[in-house]
Amino acid sequence: MHVRSGDTPLQTPEQLDGRFKLVAGLYAAALLSPAVLGLATPWLGSVSWPVTLGLLGAVGAVLTATVAWTVSRQSEFVAWLDSPWIAFLVPAIGILPISLYLFDVFLFVAFAVTDLQPDTAANLIGFVGFVAGIAATLLGEYLVLRARTQLANATVDDTDVAVEWTAGWPRRARLWFMIGTLVVIGLLAGVAFWRLGWRGVTTVLPFGPVLVIALRSVVSERTHRATSVGLERRRDGRWLGPRRLIPWSKVDGFSVTDDAIILHRALPHVDIRCQRNLIDDEAVVAALNTHLDRRDT
């Protein structure tokens, strides 16, 4: 496949915005604070809940400030987050503490409402770690979106747009894609139960909702803009929403079917499909022909 447009590198912003740096610090703190303090539980013993929460807050504040300061000096960090595997792993890593601390949540609730045994720092740290894992998943997703938006803002000239259209996947393709996703999750859960029992299932299943949400985002409606640099995509058609720029060199041509225009991409990327009856397909095809080879002719 030959891409006629040059491989123009994405431009990193000269300065990262303050909110992005803060979220990067909070993300690291949510992941690491319970683990760091958990290493000290043999020495904490049955320390009271207020003291434990204070220690968690202190560790979290130090981690937040350290990571935010480090990120502020590395504007290339946003380009690193645009990598497909990194973009998946950053929010997905938050599922690990959710799985690891799930049993501690049950213990914490049981000890909180009964007098089975004295309260311990370990139970509270596990409970906080579970909640922090949920927060880390959400913060990780935000980091990836903001990183890609800053790359697009720094690279795209808004006057250099050949055509703009809004569309998502055709209904039939969307349905089969989601069915395939659920089948894969079910198979993974079955293998986990076969090899590890219920403990394995509780470890695998939390990844299911995150995977479904992520893949549902893939097939949802987006606003697309064809520029000389690449294809820009905006989530949910919102002009000020999260943006992503895909260089033409990362697209392996396009094809046109009865119900969709398909932009092909190599794994682990998923092809981009746009429902034809929602757009001016002739204008879109003409713009894509300028930069990509058509594969169905």
pLDDT of 295 above 50: yes
State the pLDDT confidence band at 2, using cuts at 50, 70 and 90. very low
Q: What is residue 232's three-state secondary structure?
A: strand
**Among 3, 33, 153, 162, residue whose Cα is nearest residue 82:** 153
Distance CA 161, CA 226 (A): 6
Give, in order, the Cα–Cα distances in Å from 216 to each of 75, 193, 253, 270, 284: 30, 26, 24, 12, 24
How do residues 167-215 score in pLDDT, each as one tens digit? 888 888 888 877 887 787 777 777 767 766 666 666 666 666 666 666 6
How do residues 110-152 score in pLDDT, each as one tens digit? 666 666 555 566 777 778 888 888 899 889 989 998 898 888 8
pLDDT of 237 above 60: no
Residue written as token pair 């479904």: 212
**Among 252, 254, 242, residue whose Cα is nearest residue 87:** 242
Give me the percent of the chain exceeding a pLDDT of 70.
78
What is the secondary structure of 233-294 as a DSSP string? EEETT-TTS-EEEEEGGG---EEE-SSEEEE---TTS--EEEEGGGS-HHHHHHHHHHHS-B
Q: Could you tell me the pTM of the whole model? A: 0.74
